[in-house]
Chains A and B, each alone.
Chain A
Amino acid sequence: MSGITRRRFLCATVIGGAITTLGSMCGKGGKAWASGSFEGYPEGMGVLVDLTRCIGCRTCEAACNKEQNLAPPDRSFTDQSVFDTDRRTDEDHYTVVNRYATGEGPVYRKIQCNHCNEPACLTSCFVNAYTKTKEGAVVYNDKVCVGCRTCMVACPFNIPAYSYSSATNPLIKKCIFCHETRLKNGRPPACVEACPQEVLTFGHRKDLIKLGHERIRNSPGKYIDQIYGEKEVGGTGWMYLSAVPFDQVGFDTTLGNEPIISNVKDFLSTVPMVLAIWPALFSGFHLLATKGKDHGGEGDDEGHKRSEKEEPRP
């Protein structure tokens, strides 16, 4: 009887072990990503957006539409009535400008992918469709995307959109920093080039941080003493300067400075432990729970038979 128990235990161990190996493979991968904090590639590019300069002309929207070959807009890019509603990015608009009424008059804010140093979309993607390129862009591989839309849930800025209208090839649509057509050749994205007000400054991220702080220092009282995106969710490639508190112009100021993946690390680190400990723990429970039945001459399987006899079936 005990032989059977031992064999079963062995089976459990072997199967558990196989799963552990499989799991630790996943676990290791997860740990490698989750450990430490990635602060961006040293040569990563970014854009500094100075909200005090934006006049809401929407030229950047038009330039993006042309550069990315997006569908023609319902309302022309000179139409100011779009400011009556709060808009977000969607499959035909990788960037939008919103207007916010503040104590210091209307403030316009351009929205697009912020190209995080440690992007939530990238870390949440189970087919690794996202890549943070050395130039600083967060790009997307549409050949492997399954369409689970976790990246849309994960993005703290609500940027990725989905082309729900396609039945056969729906994809994530978002700003890619004009990576293919411009950034990797060292050129600024189309919106930056088109902006007539020099709202957008393109450059190395680390230089832009210096520039931003310089502007704050050189014009005392003009700016809020913060570059939004310098530290938020681990730092972003696109950063903002503002004259009014950021939460008054649609920014989420409650995100904290930790990358999104930090929230998930607690769980990710338990995974290899569960995989490693559970097989022995529960096989042990099995041995403990069935041990008592060995006493009195009735083994484990004898116990089974006894219950059979109590409720015999033909």
Chain B
Amino acid sequence: MRAFVKMGQLVDSHYRKDGKKRWTLLEKLFLGLTPQQYIMQALLNPVNWVLAVIFAVGLPMIAGRFYFGLNWVTHSSNDYPWGLFLGFGLFGMVPLSSSGFQLGTACEVFGRHDLEPIERVGLLNGLLGYFFAVVYLLVDLGQPWRLPYPMAVAFGPAAVLFLVAWHVATYLSVQVAEVSTSFFEWIGWPVGKQGVRKITLGLTVAGIILSTLHQGALGALFTYAPGKVHPLWYSSSFQWLHFFVSSLPGGLCMVIAVSTIARTTMEWRCDERFRSTLDKLTITLAKGATMGLATYLTIKLIGIAHDNEWSYLATGWGAWFLLEMGVGVILPLALFSWAIPRNNPAIVRLGAFITVFGIVLNRLNTAMICFNWKLPHREIPHWRELIICITVFAIYVVVYRFILYRLPILYAWKEEPVGETVAEPVKGVPVPAYGEPLSPLPSYRELGEEPIQVSSYVITELGSDESGRRGL
């Protein structure tokens, strides 16, 4: 990909580098490459071949699930009604998607604008995580075409799942709105972007409310099964808080994980601002995750003490619980505590990947592995169930990559001054040289002698963009 980016022009504004001709939508979709170049780079990427194999096997299986029914892809267990689709797909993906509301809150509510280079990754990660949790849900539901029923046909307002359904639906809309600013920039519709920006704070606060409630509600779903979830994973009073609090480090660490992968595999797409600030921001996010993990560990212990479940720790289940907490919570906590003061982003990243694993393991334990602990048999998922899970995840990766390649998530969209006359660069501001699209402009301080012209440029920029800042 990198080689092809050098051949073509990187799409990071509406105009080509000569500053005259606008990119067409098709050209934007092809990343500024010719169709032949685009297909060539796709074929040369080994990841695509792996994906192709997964899709070749998995897509027919998804079709088969809808044609032959759930019993073709699962063990049709009446004792374990929720398998991998929900255990991993819904309960695992949602806590990793809490990044949207956290970064939104930090930037928009608390004014931490230093986090802006990574805010959009957080928002997109939230949106896609939720969206694909719903995709997993659609695969799992017996009659997915009835999914809108709790909204329109029949209401069960006492049910926790009723809240989950409403909150996920509302929050998905909020997240679409939050991420849409990037889309409006890319497609070139400033009116839409301004419209969304005006309600940004409202959207963000709505995001906090909806996230608090339904991250918690996913936990509260298990309070319907007090005798089935193992006591170490169950707490009548605190289940929703355990789920909510653990989602906080989960979401932050997922952003660290995704940004790490993005910077390694699509460096060409990251702009200088993202690349130069990423290490610092990784440390900042890890600080938040550390507080989250420490709090989570504390309230897990309080949960055990509250219900006096210490004796279970001496059993086999207890050993498994201690392993989960040790590897998934205490180990990353130790790694973060060691690496943050030493400013070591590599170890922080390792800790983030382990945290993501730990949170997913916790959800799998609650929903499947330690569910029905009194029953003699454990449910081992059907192999087709596993393959469908992997396939849906692969679709998630493809969509994620498709968006990161195009929308201004990892880079800042270069807003052009409107009109032909202002398209000419102001004297004193160098045009990015052909072939060096990512080089940042020197700051006005460096330009020194002609700061007035620079600020006039800034004002022109602000003209189409009320507050003139990136992000929402």
Q: Which residues of A contact B (CB under 8 A)?
A: 4, 7-9, 11-16, 19, 22-23, 25-26, 28-30, 32-34, 88-90, 120, 123-129, 141, 144-150, 152-154, 156, 158, 160-162, 164-167, 169-171, 252, 254-256, 260-261, 263-264, 266-268, 270-271, 274-275, 278-279, 282-283, 285-286, 289-290, 293, 300-301, 303-305, 307-314
Contacts and interface: CB of A to CB of B under 8 A. Distances in A.
B69 interface: yes
B13 to A, nearest CB: 8
Interface in B57-92: 66-71, 74, 76, 78-79, 81-82
Contacts of A286: 108-111, 201, 205
A153 B71 contact: no
A149 B371 CA distance: 15
14 contacts: A9-B201, A19-B170, A22-B170, A148-B141, A153-B221, A165-B69, A167-B69, A252-B374, A261-B158, A274-B209, A282-B105, A305-B468, A307-B469, A308-B458
B405 to A, nearest CB: 20
A166 B79 CA distance: 18
B242 to A, nearest CB: 11
A26 B206 contact: no
Given A304-B468, A310-B443, A313-B412, A26 B76 contact: no
B25 interface: no
A150 B161 contact: yes
A314 B432 contact: yes
A145 B143 contact: yes
B210 A19 contact: yes
B454 interface: yes
A23 B470 CA distance: 32
B160 A146 contact: no
A136 to B, nearest CB: 20
A152 B78 contact: yes
A40 to B, nearest CB: 17
A260 B81 contact: no
A124 B227 contact: no
B161 A124 contact: yes
Contacts of B216: 267, 270
Contact of A124 (B143, B146, B153, B159): B159
Interface stretch (B41-49, B232-240, B251-259, B296-304): B232-240
A164 B76 contact: yes
A314 B429 contact: yes
Residue with the highest number of chain A CB atoms closer than 10 Å, among B76, B82, B222, B374: B76
A312 B444 contact: yes
A150 B204 CA distance: 31
Nearest to A129: B154
Contacts of A158: 78-79
**Chain B interface residue number, banded:** 35 or more
A264 B212 CA distance: 16
Nearest to B72: A167
Contacts of A22: 166, 170
B103 interface: no
Interface string B144-166: 10110110011111111111111
B213 A268 contact: no
B288 interface: no
Given A128-B154, A267-B220, A161 B78 contact: yes
B208 interface: yes
A246 to B, nearest CB: 14
Contacts of B162: 26, 126
Given A89-B78, A124-B161, A282-B105, A147 B111 contact: no
Contact of A268 (B78, B111, B160, B273): B160
B142 A149 contact: yes
Contacts of B212: 274, 278
B414 interface: yes
A33 B468 CA distance: 50
A145 B228 CA distance: 23
B198 interface: yes
B110 A12 contact: no
B467 interface: yes
Residue with the highest number of chain A CB atoms closer than 10 Å, among B78, B198, B222: B78
B123 interface: no
B341 interface: no
For the complex of A and B, the 5 pairs showing the least CB-CB separation, nearest first, are A147-B142, A29-B157, A33-B158, A15-B202, A167-B69
B289 interface: no
Nearest to A4: B467
Contacts of A154: 224-225
B440 interface: yes
A127 B158 CA distance: 10
Residue with the highest number of chain A CB atoms closer than 10 Å, among B66, B150, B202, B470: B202
B291 interface: no
Contacts of B273: 311, 313
Residue with the highest number of chain A CB atoms closer than 10 Å, among B67, B273, B467: B467
Given A124-B159, A158-B78, A307 B114 contact: yes
A275 to B, nearest CB: 6
Nearest to A158: B79
B140 to A, nearest CB: 8
B88 to A, nearest CB: 16
B8 interface: no
B10 interface: no
B113 interface: yes
A12 to B, nearest CB: 4
Contacts of B141: 146-148
A148 B22 CA distance: 49
A25 to B, nearest CB: 8
A303 B111 contact: yes
A257 B364 CA distance: 29
Given A89-B78, A150-B224, A289-B109, A267 B205 contact: no
Contacts of B432: 314
A146 B166 CA distance: 15
Residue with the highest number of chain A CB atoms closer than 10 Å, among B81, B116, B147: B81
Interface in B150-196: 150, 153-166, 170
Interface in B439-472: 440-441, 443-444, 454, 458, 462, 467-470
A153 B228 contact: yes
A19 B143 contact: no
B223 interface: yes
A28 B113 CA distance: 38
A278 B205 contact: yes
Nearest to A146: B146
A166 to B, nearest CB: 6
Contacts of B470: 308, 313
A271 B239 CA distance: 14
Interface string B108-145: 11110110100000000000000000000000011110
Nearest to B234: A263
Contacts of B113: 303-304, 307
B172 to A, nearest CB: 14
A123 B160 CA distance: 9
Contacts of A307: 113-114, 116, 469
